[in-house]
Amino acid sequence: MRAIITRHYKTIINASDQILGWGDSPRDKGWKADVEFVSTRMRERGINFDAVFSSDLERSRQTAMFHANLLGIHIIHDSTALNEVNYGELYKKKKKWVAEHYPRHKKDPDYVYPQGESFRQMQQRSVSYISMLAEKYQDQTVLIVVHAGVIRGLVSHFLGLNYADHLNHKISHRYIGDFLFDGKTCVRYDELGKPSGFVSDAVIKTPFSCPRAEAQVISAELQAAQEPAVPAVGKI
């Protein structure tokens, strides 16, 4: 499977430097230029898609629907397994305030936010879901619209990086990740849009050859994670 993974449009809360998580927010001005940049870049690359997926959060679903309409795809598949990390009580809190009052924020992937979840839990569910898709959609190309936190978790896992070291890299709304799978194993990673912090911070160079299957052993925590539910289907 080839998975083209991109981020949702920018929201007002994204622009105001607040915590969003499982909440939602109206689109920020300039959102359409970002989404059109992504769609144009994919069209220039001549990528043909067989299916479109997203989280079930509104900002992700609407972005996926925008792309699906341009692609002539009339159904999108959404799942909570692809949702951003659940920050619980921290919804709409200023990021600076959170950093001052929650010292483990974006430093410890196992820290569970009050009334929410940990980054590790979010990574478990999203990796499990992508692995399921990779097995189901072999020899096909899919578009997946998700969130910055999900993208960091996926890149860290499939590229064999220590997750705790990579919780803060910038992920633009013009990011386009290109993941190539052989079965459940990611064999190559590239970026087609605005470079992520993984590239601009010199963590990796693209295109990147992923660790072989034996190195991509799913952790005990991921093995214990429940398989994601069958994705909900939304008609456009």
Per-residue pLDDT of the chain (236 residues; tens, 9 = 90+): 999 999 999 999 888 989 999 988 889 998 999 999 999 999 999 999 999 999 999 999 999 999 999 999 999 999 999 999 999 999 999 999 999 999 999 999 999 999 999 999 999 999 999 999 999 999 999 999 999 999 999 999 999 999 999 999 999 999 999 999 999 999 999 999 999 999 999 999 999 999 874 444 444 344 444 444 444 445 44
Which tokens go with 37?
Answer: 């940049």
Write down the residue that tokens 């079930």 correspond to. 56
The whole-angstrom separation of Cα 129 and Cα 58 is 19
Which tokens go with 83?
Answer: 């949702």
Stated as kind and residue range, the H or E segment containing 220 is: helix 220-224
pTM: 0.89
pLDDT at 24: 87
Kindly state the DSSP code that residue 205 receives in the 8-state scheme.
-
The whole-angstrom separation of Cα 80 and Cα 54 is 9
Q: Contact at 8 Å (CB) between 228 and 128?
A: yes
pLDDT at 211: 85
Q: Contact at 8 Å (CB) between 79 and 231?
A: yes
pLDDT at 218: 47
pLDDT at 4: 98
